[in-house]
Amino acid sequence: MRHFREKTVTVPPQAHPLVKFVFTEMIRQQVTYCDLVDRAGVDRNTIRAWRTRNSPNLTNIEAVLNVLGYDIKPIRQTS
């Protein structure tokens, strides 16, 4: 892994909750953008665009979450 600099990864306040979770986990696990894109196979610009412009598609968010040790599972809503 590359040397982690926490100041290069921040949590975007206006982003989708899953995107906020990704960036929070990147900081917690000290994963850099370079490490994440290399292991997930998702373009760096795509991930950076999640911060302000785009919402992630299911394939990309799942790939990134898998790298961070998470999976997406449907859960029935309770009333």
Residue with tokens 């040790």: 69
**Residues 39-69 pLDDT 10s:** 999 999 999 899 888 889 999 999 999 999 9
Closest-CA residue to 40 (of 20, 24, 28, 22) = 22
Domain count, the chain: 1
Residue 58 belongs to domain with CATH number? 1.10.260
**Averaged over 10-28, what is the pLDDT?**
90
Q: pTM for the whole thing?
A: 0.82
Closest-CA residue to 64 (of 20, 15, 5) = 20
Secondary structure tally for the chain: helices H, strands E: 4, 0
Phi, psi dihedral angles at 13 (to 5 degrees): -65, -30
Domain assignment present for residue 72? The answer is no
